[in-house]
């Protein structure tokens, strides 16, 4: 009947218009939401909480939002913009995880392999069980080997400088000295006792730097070269590197004082790692990027491993990375619960339940995400085919900025 009333071309147009209208109605990023995000980010800058901010969101493979407010360099009156480079700190970790999982796809290791199979330094690890009467640590053999899965979910057991009994030894070992190669880092780390038996606790730290070392050992290539050839190069992430071609492209770093005002960190300190090529190429931090580069990485993930004509990972590998690998028996989780109802996959937090109340970060079950020490953030929302990247450069880490941005994107708790 419809064919008699309307020409075929008109029918196609009618159905296309109807489909577009349906997409608009189901979209997360509407005109109202864009206005809300603008208002939120502008208020964060105008209130003096941050010096500058940029945000980029893609939905269903289309750019849905971009804006920037405030300054990349307040003192030089240089605005935050699309080309501003930032230090992404721990947002380096998911890139390292993707590098490692490319080798997994090639069948070169299994997640439950002991890391000592590829890095013999880590055989026969010892665990602290207390202190003797002379103040020396009592060491016992680890219940089991550290596995690659332990590295990817932060359950290896490595101690930090904050450890009450091992902190001094960790500090003296200076494992992450930038003059160390990854191999030297591993040798020093393997000589230290573990804080707990592998698999017993979630403790954030050096695990991803050891992943980078495994990438070197298994691939036979320097870690930074492997990343460039297999991830940042193919994805055209040309601004993502340890040392930017021009250090002046980097945003200034700011520190919020106790009275709430912002102090500019000395450039010599802020840029101490990124101003020259060091022997250490960390897997856990160190890269700089611009917002479009990191969005290309996020879009590759939401598209299950492929961006445009470039495939980085297989869909099943991305799903494996975005699956919670933390058993319920792992009850000691450091500050991970502050991220909301989440578990941990392969170098991402993974949302397993909706927010319990309006105090928790807004988000969708199934999303995976991570952030950086200077308060950068990204997430991948497969349900809505949405990816978001937020760039700021502020210490100490500011979860309130993330909370406000997420609320602006998804709406209040009561609207979910």
Could you state, in order of their start, the residue ranges of all structural domains in the chain? 29-100+222-410, 109-219
Token couple for 56: 């980029």
3-state secondary structure of 335: coil
Q: What is the rounded CA–CA span in Å between residue 232 and residue 224?
A: 10
Does pLDDT of 416 surpass 50? Answer: no
Q: What is the rounded CA–CA span in Å between residue 298 and residue 229?
A: 18
Task: List pLDDT tens digits, range 284-321.
Answer: 999 999 999 999 999 999 999 999 999 999 999 999 99
Pairing of strands 368-371, 377-381: antiparallel
Task: List pLDDT tens digits, range 256-273.
Answer: 999 999 999 999 999 999
Name the CA radius of gyration of the chain, rounded. 23
Residues 6+ apart with CB under 8 A from 321: 97, 98, 101, 313, 345, 346, 347, 348, 368
Task: List pLDDT tens digits, range 3-32.
Answer: 455 555 554 454 455 545 555 668 999 999
pLDDT > 70 in the chain, percent: 93
Neighbours of 385 (CB within 10 A): 16
Token couple for 8: 């075929």
Arithmetic mean of pLDDT over the chain: 94
Residue 414: per-residue pLDDT = 41
Residues 6+ apart with CB under 8 A from 103: 109, 215, 218, 219
CB distance 235 to 307 below 8 Å: yes
Average pLDDT over residues 53-75: 98
Q: How confident is the model at residue 136 (pLDDT cuts 50, 70, 90)?
A: confident
Q: List beta partners, residue 76.
A: none
Quickly list H helices, 62-122. 93-105
Q: How confident is the model at residue 134 (pLDDT cuts 50, 70, 90)?
A: confident
CB distance 50 to 33 below 8 Å: no
Task: Assign domain 29-100+222-410 to a CATH class.
Answer: alpha beta
Pairing of strands 52-59, 386-391: antiparallel
Q: What angle do CA 19, 21, 26 make, to 5 degrees?
A: 95
Q: List beta partners, residue 85.
A: 250
């Amino acid at each position: 009947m419809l064919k008699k009333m309307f020409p075929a071309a008109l029918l196609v147009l009618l159905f296309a218009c109807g489909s577009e209208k349906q997409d608009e109605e189901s979209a997360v990023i509407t005109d109202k939401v864009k206005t809300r995000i603008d208002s939120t980010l502008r208020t964060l800058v105008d209130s003096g909480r941050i010096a500058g901010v940029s945000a980029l969101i893609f939905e269903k493979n289309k750019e849905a939002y971009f804006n920037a407010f405030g300054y990349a360099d307040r003192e030089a009156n240089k605005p935050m913009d699309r080309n501003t480079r930032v230090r992404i700190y721990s947002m380096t970790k998911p890139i390292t995880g993707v590098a490692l999982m490319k080798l997994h796809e090639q069948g070169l290791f299994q997640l439950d392999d002991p890391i000592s199979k590829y890095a013999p330094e880590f055989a026969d690890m010892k665990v602290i069980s207390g202190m003797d009467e002379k103040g020396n640590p009592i060491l016992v053999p680890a219940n089991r080997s550290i596995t690659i899965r332990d590295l990817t979910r932060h359950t290896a057991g490595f101690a930090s400088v904050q450890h009450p009994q091992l902190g001094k030894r960790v500090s003296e070992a200076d494992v992450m000295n930038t003059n160390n190669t990854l191999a030297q880092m591993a040798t020093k780390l393997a000589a230290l006792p573990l804080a707990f038996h592998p698999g017993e606790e979630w403790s954030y730290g050096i695990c991803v730097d050891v992943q980078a070392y495994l990438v070197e050992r298994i691939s036979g290539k320097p870690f930074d070269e492997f990343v460039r050839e297999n991830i940042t190069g193919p994805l055209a992430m040309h601004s993502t590197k340890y040392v930017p071609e021009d250090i002046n492209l980097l945003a200034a770093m700011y520190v919020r004082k106790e009275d709430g005002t912002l102090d500019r960190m000395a450039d010599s300190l802020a840029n101490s790692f990124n101003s020259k090529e060091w022997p250490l190429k960390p897997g856990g931090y160190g890269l700089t990027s611009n917002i479009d580069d990191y969005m290309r990485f996020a879009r590759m993930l939401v598209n299950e491993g492929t961006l445009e004509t470039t495939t980085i990972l297989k869909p099943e590998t991305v799903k494996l990375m975005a699956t919670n690998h933390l058993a319920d028996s792992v009850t000691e989780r450091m500050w991970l619960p502050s991220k909301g109802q989440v578990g941990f996959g392969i170098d991402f937090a993974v949302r397993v339940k909706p927010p319990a109340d309006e105090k928790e970060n807004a988000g969708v079950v199934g999303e995976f995400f991570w952030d950086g020490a200077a308060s950068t953030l990204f997430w991948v929302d497969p349900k809505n085919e949405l990816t978001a990247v937020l760039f700021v450069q502020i210490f100490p880490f500011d979860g309130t900025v993330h909370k406000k941005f997420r609320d602006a994107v998804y709406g209040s708790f009561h609207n979910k």
